[in-house]
Structure 1
Amino acid sequence: MSIVISYKKNLSKVNLGNFVLFVDENYTLSDLSKYFTKEENQFINDVLKSQNLSKKIVSFDLNSKKKIFLISLKKNIKSFEIENLGAKFFHYLKDVKQTEFIINSNNAPSKIKNFVGYFLHGLKLKSYIFEKYKTKKTKKNILFKIIGKNIPSAKDQIKFKAVEEGTFFTRDLVSEPGNILHPDEYAKRLSLLKKDGLKVNIYDEKKLKKLGMNTLLGVGQGSIRGSYLVTLEWKGLKDSSKPLAFVGKGVCFDTGGISLKPAKFMEDMTYDMAGSAVVVGLMKSLALRKAKVNAVGVVGLVENMPGGNAQRPGDIVKSYSGKTVEILNTDAEGRLVLADALTYTEEKFKPKFIIDLATLTGAIIVSLGSEYAGLFSNDDKLSQQLIEAGERVEEKVWRMPLNKNFDKLIDSKNADMQNINYVGGAGSTTAAQFLQRFILNKTPWAHLDIAGMAFSKYGGALNSGGATGYGVRLLNKLIEDKYE
């Protein structure tokens, strides 16, 4: 389904299509004479007397060719609530045959900057569907004509579109099946982002071996596919100030390796690369909107397979940092990919902060379900900034504990550490505690465990099920509010 939007500031008469008006909670109507005849105006008021005005959206036929939608707004409405209304309105469109709509921006609250922009943003995000492999695709195109003066500026329109395209790109990547988006193909797709203005460097297995990234390479050694580290750089400032760094886990398919997962629901492991997809979508958004910031995205791309050359439980590998890791469970692979990526990012780019994202543990779903991502951090300021950004776009995070007392659960008798806690409990925390050991120079760091947020069976406020794109809007808001 395609959404097309056009802006008409001076259109005063509306003769065709469906009409959308914003009203207060009491459905107070004013200044309709510009758009409707006296008879139509009277008809609207009469119909409202018989409607259930507790609903957020009321709709009815004005005549055989025109339908009217009234969308009620509560006082002190927040931007994410406006987006949710836009998404809710899109849901109505499934049962409407007409494909052309007029939205009057003049009666939108003028005190809320970009009200219409937020409304359309939510609508477009909700409209996403992944039907690339269906032989019969949805061909419906919907046109929105926005009239009036309260429309987003050209600059703000670019910002909204950039975030939408970044989020959609993330969702596309996560939705791809494992036989299509394996590490080799993923790396090729990332190289195409050069056209958006990103500097892309791809490190293949030969280069990674030379660098000593053995924890990352160990995860992928059972697959016939290659393993890669890819860096995406955006330089939006003329100076050489330290970049913001984002690191993502890109396990394109996770069988668990020799520590094989149960067959039931293993098909969902196509989205075990969602952390990397968020990083990629964010970097694309920053480039498209020409963000005034220096940023780098780093993703480790592997496939975890139980092949003849696969990593074994009991293996000991030396990481890029020089620290050794005993592999007790090959299904605790994401932290191994991130370990090398984190140390490399810190050493090479010397960033202001590092935020990593990963579908890392099932334990975080037990803790927080699909409402919050787990946040672990060594820095209170960065944590608070993430919490505030999450509240503003309703991509929420909840801070979880890190403490040196957890270290004993991942200390190994045979190496510097082991990759899993077999004592029991604190699965998400010990995974984060493991990652923290690879931040060597006290760089402010945050780990977001998005296992419960990256994919939704039932859909959410701004998605209709499947890949959510969670994290792109969160991190974009963090950058926009605090670092531009």
Structure 2
Amino acid sequence: MKLSFQHDIPSFSGNFIIPVFETGPNHLVPIEFYGVSVPSKVFYGKANEIYAIEKYDNVHLFIGLGKTPDYKSVVTMFRRAAHKYPEFFNKAVLIDLPNGLEPQLVSALVSGLKLGTYKIGHFKNEKPHPITNSDFALTINNYKSEEAFLQKALILADAQLQCMQWVDLPPNVVTPEYMAKAGTDLANETQFQATVLDKNALQELGMGALLAVGQGSKNDARLLVLELNPEAEGKHYALVGKGVTFDTGGLNIKTAGMQFMKSDMAGAAAVVATMHYLAKSDSKKRVTAVVPLCENAVDAASLKPSAVIEAFNKKTIEIIDTDAEGRLILADALAYLIAKHKPDVIVDIATLTGSSVATFGYECGALFTNNVDLEFALRSAGNQVGEKLWPLPLWSAYDPDISSDIADVRNYSGKPIAGAITAAKFLEYFTDKHEAWAHLDIAGVAFGDSEFAKFKHATAFGVNLLSTFIENH
């Protein structure tokens, strides 16, 4: 996509998108656009409404913004337009911005159009969306802010598209090795460094929790480490993403919904995509990402309930449930990160528990931290971009739920209550009391239903949130 800017509509040749703030069905003055008139009884800018009219051999697409649009709603509106009307974009397109549309919402508009090109049929012979053509021209009229801001919106959308593809691809394609290579390939394209630790390296380091989860699979575990601006001054940020590329539950095998467990690496995908965005947008922040990758498979060698394993930090873990595996690989990743890289701020992100879905449904991710400033910064970033978080407690009252008679800690309380909280308490045990650590449980928002596919699919939740948090913090 080629992005350009102008203030001379009569000289433009192509199709037009006209975003419109809501007026009312009884508004006396029709919506006018260079000889095209739309009476309010037909269209008055109500949110999510689209009205198309052809005149002067060009199609004019009027899109209703509503009265007070927010970032997420604008992204969805324009993703819908690109998704439903791909033929409209066979010509060059000009968007005539209404007065009063904030730059943040203009960036949402641009990102939404790019996201509308996503097609989940990765194994179908489908024509690519016209917007993906390198010569497609999108012209923005009446834009009064920095042009680089919108270029970053396109970079962000590219990162989100990559995240969605990784999560939606099947597990016979997306293996631990595949994701490790994806991270190194992106590093080679941009300015961050990538290191992949294979099974032998993990054994030498003593990453027993990660290795234990992956020991039942023919696809060996990996640890992907990405570093952006490692010599930069200022705060050192760190991201950790759960990367279980397929989760059967292990010997505590899942009894329903296993076909969706290719999405159990959505946290890893969000972290790698975030690093891609930060590098491509020339971020000056110092960021380290640690991504544990494995499969939780059923085999004679699989981890057994009641086994005791040793994590990277030499703490022992009693295995109560092999389907509580995500917290095991995150425990090793967090302990490794803190010991080897010593970051100032840590955020881990994972599709960790069904309990978070039972609590919040599909509206927001669960946020755990004891750092008030970090909580505020993450929630503010999420609210800004429509990826909401809501806090749950890490009270010491929950400590007994992860205590063990035979080991230092156990991986599951065995109780049908407070599952997201006790999982977060387990992770906290491996953070060495870090003063600025946050855990995001995104099980309800990383993969779900929407108008853009028939069945559940990836949302790229976390990419915009983490990127915005790091940029603004």
Shift in alpha-carbon separation, 1:429–1:63, aligned structure 2, 3 A = same
**1:137 matches 2:126:** yes
1:122 is aligned to 112
Shift in alpha-carbon separation, 1:307–1:117, aligned structure 2, 3 A = same
2:304 is aligned to 312
Distance in 2, Cα, partners of 1:449 & 1:180? 25
Deviation (angstroms), 1:268: 0.8
1:255 is aligned, of 227, 248, 259, to: 248
* Maintained 8 Å contact 2:31/2:40: no
The superposition leaves residues 384-412 of structure 1 with CA deviations (integer Å, 9 ceiling, x where unpaired) of 11111111001011101111111111111
Shift in alpha-carbon separation, 1:340–1:137, aligned structure 2, 3 A = same
Shift in alpha-carbon separation, 1:269–1:60, aligned structure 2, 3 A = closer
Distance in 2, Cα, partners of 1:90 & 1:103? 14
| Structure 2 residue matching 1:13: 3-state secondary structure | helix
2:363 is aligned to 371
Deviation (angstroms), 1:138: 2.9
User: Match of 1:197, as an amino acid?
Assistant: Q
Shift in alpha-carbon separation, 1:367–1:147, aligned structure 2, 3 A = closer
Deviation (angstroms), 1:326: 0.4
1:17 is aligned to 14
Distance in 1, Cα, partners of 2:454 & 2:381? 19
**Counterparts of residues 217-232 of structure 1 (less than 5 Å):** 217-232=211-226
User: Match of 1:7, as an amino acid?
Assistant: S
Aligned pair count reads 463
Distance in 2, Cα, partners of 1:383 & 1:147? 36
**1:214 matches 2:208:** yes
2:162 is aligned to 169
* Maintained 8 Å contact 2:70/2:105: no
Deviation (angstroms), 1:120: 1.3
* Maintained 8 Å contact 1:114/1:152: no
Task: Give the TM-score taking structure 2 as reference length.
Answer: 0.90
2:42 is aligned to 51
1:197 is aligned, of 191, 194, 200, to: 191
User: Unpaired segments of 5 or more residues in structure 1?
Assistant: none
The superposition leaves residues 409-459 of structure 1 with CA deviations (integer Å, 9 ceiling, x where unpaired) of 111111111111113311111100000000114231111111111111335
Shift in alpha-carbon separation, 1:463–1:234, aligned structure 2, 3 A = farther
* Maintained 8 Å contact 1:459/1:466: no
**Counterparts of residues 34-433 of structure 1 (less than 5 Å):** 36=34, 41=35, 44-45=36-37, 47-53=38-44, 55-56=46-47, 57-63=49-55, 65-74=57-66, 77-93=69-85, 99-100=90-91, 102-105=93-96, 107-109=97-99, 112-113=102-103, 115-134=105-124, 136-142=125-131, 143-150=136-143, 153-195=146-188, 196-235=190-229, 238-239=232-233, 241-262=234-255, 264-433=256-425
User: Unpaired segments of 5 or more residues in structure 2?
Assistant: none
Distance in 2, Cα, partners of 1:85 & 1:114? 15
Deviation (angstroms), 1:64: 7.2
| Structure 2 residue matching 1:308: 3-state secondary structure | coil
Distance in 1, Cα, partners of 2:140 & 2:273? 31
Shift in alpha-carbon separation, 1:348–1:275, aligned structure 2, 3 A = same
Q: Which deviates more, 149-158 or 378-387?
A: 149-158
Shift in alpha-carbon separation, 1:416–1:179, aligned structure 2, 3 A = same
Shift in alpha-carbon separation, 1:81–1:265, aligned structure 2, 3 A = closer
* Maintained 8 Å contact 2:43/2:51: no
The superposition leaves residues 82-112 of structure 1 with CA deviations (integer Å, 9 ceiling, x where unpaired) of 3333234335525x6662253344x433572
Deviation (angstroms), 1:52: 4.1
Deviation (angstroms), 1:149: 4.4
* RMSD (Å) for aligned C-alpha atoms: 2.6
* Maintained 8 Å contact 1:197/1:287: yes
Q: Which deviates more, 166-175 or 365-374?
A: 166-175
The superposition leaves residues 34-53 of structure 1 with CA deviations (integer Å, 9 ceiling, x where unpaired) of xx4xxxx2xx33x4154142
Shift in alpha-carbon separation, 1:464–1:147, aligned structure 2, 3 A = farther
| Structure 1 residue matching 2:301: 3-state secondary structure | coil
The superposition leaves residues 103-135 of structure 1 with CA deviations (integer Å, 9 ceiling, x where unpaired) of 344x4335723553331112212332232211x
1:444 is aligned to 436
Deviation (angstroms), 1:175: 1.3
Deviation (angstroms), 1:354: 0.8
Deviation (angstroms), 1:18: 2.5
Distance in 1, Cα, partners of 2:242 & 2:141? 45
| Structure 1 residue matching 2:171: 3-state secondary structure | coil
**1:468 matches 2:459:** yes
The superposition leaves residues 188-217 of structure 1 with CA deviations (integer Å, 9 ceiling, x where unpaired) of 222212221111111111111111111111
Distance in 2, Cα, partners of 1:81 & 1:274? 23
Q: Which deviates more, 80-89 or 210-219?
A: 80-89
* Maintained 8 Å contact 1:358/1:450: yes
Distance in 1, Cα, partners of 2:103 & 2:270? 27
User: Match of 2:377, as an amino acid?
Assistant: Q
Distance in 2, Cα, partners of 1:379 & 1:207? 34
Identical residues among aligned pairs (%): 32
Distance in 1, Cα, partners of 2:98 & 2:40? 23
Shift in alpha-carbon separation, 1:200–1:401, aligned structure 2, 3 A = same
Task: Give the TM-score taking structure 1 as reference length.
Answer: 0.88
Deviation (angstroms), 1:372: 0.6
* Maintained 8 Å contact 1:116/1:151: no
Q: Which deviates more, 141-150 or 328-337?
A: 141-150
Distance in 1, Cα, partners of 2:119 & 2:262? 17
